[in-house]
Structure 1
Amino acid sequence: MDWFIWILALGIFGFFLGKFIKHKSLYPFMPFRYDFRKRRNTFLKVMDLMKTIKAKTIIETGTSREGLHGAKSNGAATIVFGKWAKENEAFVHSVDISEDSCKNAQKEVDKQNLNEFVKIHHSDSLIFLENFKDKVDLLYLDSYDYSSDVEVQKKSQEHHLLEFKAIESRLHQNSIVLIDDCDLPNGGKGKLAIGYMLEKNWKIVMDAYQVLLLREDFSFDKLQ
C-alpha cells in the first residue's frame, strides 16, 4: 500500500502546486491571499504608469460590488486603485448606476479606511462623466455587465464607447485608459471604444483580458 500512499501524496501535492502557480497576487501591495488572476499584470503595469505620470485623478465606471472578495471574479479595482491613491496622494471616483453595488462597494471602502481617497457615486456613468470637470489621469471602464446574449453584448460595447466619448475632452496627453473584460465573445466590452480610440491616435500597450491604451505621442522623456 506504500505505492498508493505515495501516488495519493503526489496527487495532492500536484493539485496544490497547480493552485499556487495559477494564483496571481499583487503582494506585497495587497495581501497574498487575494488572487487577481487575469488582471494582475495589467494592474501592475497601470500602477507603474500612474506613478510615472504622478496621477492624481482616477475614474472607474462600474464599482467593485463584491469588494476584495471579488478580486478574481471582477478585479476589485475600486479597492486596488483606492489603496494606490492612498499611498500616492491621489483620488478615485467610482460610479455605478446600481444602488446595491454602490452600497456593497462602500462597505469595503469603509472597511479598508479609504474614505479620504475614494468616493462612490450612485449615478448613470454617462451623466457623471459628462459633468466631470477635472482632467483625468486614469480612466478605467468596467460598467454594463456583459453576457452571452448578443444584444446585451452590443449594448455594453455601445455604452463603453459613449462613456469614452463623454469624458474624452478631459483626457490629457499622458492619460491612461484601461478597459476590462475585453477577452470575451464578440470582442468584449471594449470592442467599439478601442476601435474609436485607435482612429484617434491612441495605441494599445497591453492586450490581454484587459486592454491598456496610451496616446501615440505619450513619451516618458516628456515626463523627465
Structure 2
Amino acid sequence: MVFKILTIVLLLPPAIHFTLKFIKHKSLYPFMPFKYNFRRRRITFAKTLKLLDERHVKMIIETGTSREGLKNTKGDGAATFVFGKWAQQNNAKMHSVDINEDSVKGAQNEINKQNLNDTITVHLSDSLEFLKTFENTVDFLYLDSYDYSKTDVDIQIKSQEHHLKEFKLIENKLHDNSIVLIDDCGLPGGGKGKTVVEYMLKKDWKVLIDAYQILLVKK
C-alpha cells in the first residue's frame, strides 16, 4: 500500500507537486520575506507577533539564541531574528543569551548582516546566571535553551528542569501583560515546556496556543 501511494505521488503532474510543496510552506509574509518557511512554528509566531503589537512590548528576553541565523527557519525557527526584527521596527530591545560560544558567534554574524546591533544584544553566558542578575521588567520571555532529546530521558528531565529554573529566576520581572513562549514542547516526554508549564498553570497563567510551541499569558 505504501509503495502504491508513493508511486501515485511520483506520477502526479509537476503543478500538483508544486501545490503540495506550497501548502507545506508556512511563511510569515509580509512581515518576513516569503522564502522563509517557519513550518510548525508559524501559528505561534504569528499570534505572538500580534500580541507584541497589542501589548506594546519594549523588552524581550530569549534563552537559547538562533545559532544558524536565518538559514534554518524551518528547523529551529530563527526566533532571534523574527522577534529582533519586530523589536527594531517597534523601538524595543531584545537580549538573547546562550552558553555556547559557537552559537553566539553564529547569531552575532546574522545580527551584523541584518543591521540589528542597536536592537539585539547577544550574551555569552549561562542563562541562569544571566537571568539572576537581569534588572529590567520583561514584557516577552522566549524559552528555548538546553537542547532537548527525543530519546534520552535523562536529558529530557534536565532540559525541563532547566527551563523551570529559568522561569523562576525571571518570574518577578514579569507583569500582568507579559507574554511567554516556550519552544520544542511537542516532543516525546513533554518537550522543554512540560515542567515549567505545569508550574505556570498553578501561578495564574493560561495557555493560549499549544501547537509544538506553547504560548502563555496571565489570566
Same fold (TM over 0.5): yes
Q: Counterpart of 2:67 in 1: which secondary structure?
A: coil
- Give the counterpart of 1:110 among 109, 112, 116: 112
Counterpart of 1:201 in structure 2 is: 204
**How many positions carry a matched residue from both structures?**
210
Q: Counterpart of 2:139 in 1: which secondary structure?
A: strand
Q: Give me the whole-angstrom Cα distance separating, in 1, the residues matched to 2:103 and 2:12.
A: 43
Counterpart of 1:89 in structure 2 is: 91
Q: CA deviation at 1:70?
A: 1.5
Q: Give me the whole-angstrom Cα distance separating, in 1, the residues matched to 2:85 and 2:28.
A: 12
Identity %: 63
Q: Is the 8 A contact 1:64 1:70 kept in 2?
A: no
The residue correspondences of 1:175-190 to structure 2 (distance < 5 A) are 175-190=178-193
Partner AA of 2:31 in structure 1: F
TM (norm. structure 1) is 0.92
Q: Give me the whole-angstrom Cα distance separating, in 1, the residues matched to 2:177 and 2:100.
A: 31
Larger displacement relative to structure 2 (27-36 or 8-17): 8-17
Q: Give me the whole-angstrom Cα distance separating, in 2, the residues matched to 1:42 and 1:60.
A: 15
> Which blocks of at least 5 consecutive residues in structure 2 are unaligned?
1-8
Flag the 1:157–1:13 CA change in 2: closer, same or farther, 3 A: same
The residue correspondences of 1:140-219 to structure 2 (distance < 5 A) are 140-147=142-149, 148-216=151-219
TM (norm. structure 2) is 0.94
In the TM superposition, structure 1's runs of 4+ consecutive aligned residues that sit over 6 Å from their partners are none
> Which blocks of at least 5 consecutive residues in structure 1 are unaligned?
1-6, 217-224
Deviation digits for residues 98-153 of structure 1 (CA, Å, limit 9, x no counterpart): 00000000000110010000000000000000100000000000000011211000
Counterpart of 2:55 in structure 1 is: 53
Q: CA deviation at 1:14?
A: 2.1
What is the RMSD of the two structures over their aligned residues, measured on CA atoms? 1.2
Deviation digits for residues 2-29 of structure 1 (CA, Å, limit 9, x no counterpart): xxxxx98843222221110000011111
Q: Give me the whole-angstrom Cα distance separating, in 1, the residues matched to 2:27 and 2:77.
A: 11
